[in-house]
Amino acid sequence: MTEPASYRPRAWVPADLEAAIAPYAERCAAAAPDALQAELDAELAAHERWVDHECISLIAGTNVMNPAAARYLAHTIGSRPSLGWPGDKYETGLAHAERIEVMTTELLKRVFGCAYAEHRVPSGSIANLYAYLATCAPGDAVVAFPPAFAGHVTHHEPGAAGLYRLRVLEMPMSAATMSIDLDALRALVRRERPKLLIVGGSMCLYAYPVREVRTIADEVGAAVMYDAAHMSGLIAGGAFQRPLAEGAHLMTASTYKSFGGPPSGMVLTDDPAIAARLDAIAHPGLTANFDLGRTAALAAACLDLIEHGAAYAHACVAVARALAAGLRDAGVPVFCASAGANAGRDTDSQFVAVPAAALPAASTPRARAVVRAGRGFGGTAASRLIEPANLLTTGIEIPAAPVAGDQNAVRLGTQEIVRWGFEPRHMPRLAAMLARVWVHGEDPAALRDETVAWRREFTLLRHVRGT
């Protein structure tokens, strides 16, 4: 057995975080395997109890799987390699696994009504990298939503786009309409001649003009990519725009979030040339072996959406709209478009956005206590403020005044609570609980028992097969 190594502090990690991490890391580095195994079991059990049974999760980037999908994800098939096309694998003994791979591909094509589906993708972020590799070369220009409009980091310099040495141009957007400024985009495209136009990101309150973007892209031979990381479940259920049908050359997505499957990614297209490039990127390119247990779980998620997708997707939107209305009634500000076709509508999706700096409790001592040094009160701080109430949220950026060191809004998502059976009629109560902390400055810990008791009324998963 190797001797335990002492923990080495990382100079690139903020000092306050490293100081908090180091004591536990040092203990883990020196502890005996039996002790660590026991602690691992205990932490997993505590996490499951807290997050899955005692909290109400409005985190937009998460969901709960069908128990059948969870079983498949843990199946022994997941540890088996699977190199190559079905019918011509490098390894033997994969006849049954090959059928699962083919089934998953065909189910994705059925769910999205597309010609080609690449599922050997470990995450939505890597799905974006697949798209860049399939459509661009290093040095090419791409156009992406800016962070203030929820453009994802993988679309920009610090993420996959920058690592692939793409030149990133900001998509012209209108803060008033919360949509693309098409005239400005046309001028930008004609001037810069990008290879790829990226539509979508980490929060889509409304549909985007994909058809019009495709027309602009065609002027210079550019491709259009729709990032459906958060929207794939609503697209599959017919409650949101269908980007490929509207002209996008390819669509990337996560397979958890609103899709409700295992953590991974996918790339969909109707273009055979793009599909061939994606196939080669997956193998022998970047992915090679992939998790067959995840593949089976993804098939189960597709079956859920084939049977329940329409009801689930429309419920996500209805609950989000009811939550937004409840928040407004409770005194919580809600962000929405102020002009154009979307004016005055809080959301057409599972998302609700709350400007953090406008929250009345933002200036209270309790709010200031959750702000890290050098930062203002933004979406992350607001989420940390309410976490002791067992109400889970995250930050997001909106086109409003920036907050130093933080995102300037809270992003709420309804996809998980819909699967646990929350309905529009429950949203006034949930909104009132959020307002008690964010508006009235109550101690969030005082709400915890109420949250736990209410959450325990929702024990049956909805919109999944077999329940």
For residue 251, the cross-strand partners are 226, 268
Rounded to the nearest 10 degrees, what angle do helices 292-329 and 95-112 cross at? 30
Indicate whether 1 pLDDT > 60. Answer: no
By the 8 A CB rule, do 461 and 420 touch? Answer: yes
pLDDT tens-digit readout, 64-103? 999 999 999 999 999 999 999 999 999 999 999 999 999 9
Computed over its alpha carbons, how large is the radius of gyration of the chain? 23
By the 8 A CB rule, do 427 and 347 touch? Answer: no
Closest CA to 144 of 133, 129, 154: 154
Q: 């892209």: which residue's tokens?
A: 217
Task: State the DSSP H helix or E strand holding residue 411, giving kind and residue range, or none if neither.
Answer: strand 409-413
How many CB atoms neighbour CB 143 within 10 A? Answer: 26
The per-residue pLDDT of the chain, averaged, comes to 96
Q: What is the largest CA-CA distance in the chain?
A: 67
Work out the average pLDDT over 385-405.
97
Work out the average pLDDT over 233-245.
98
pLDDT tens-digit readout, 354-383? 999 999 999 999 999 999 988 999 999 999
CA distance 201 to 466: 32
Q: Name residue 31's amino acid.
A: A
Which pLDDT belongs to residue 5? 63
Rounded to the nearest 10 degrees, what angle do helices 427-438 and 292-329 cross at? 70
Closest CA to 8 of 16, 39, 21: 21
Say what the pTM is.
0.96
The structural domains of the chain, ordered by start, are 67-304 (3.40.640.10), 308-455 (3.90.1150.10)
Which pLDDT belongs to residue 344? 95
Which pLDDT belongs to residue 2? 57
Rounded to an integer, what is the distance from CA 442 to the centroid of its chain? 30
Percentage of residues in the chain with pLDDT exceeding 70? Answer: 99
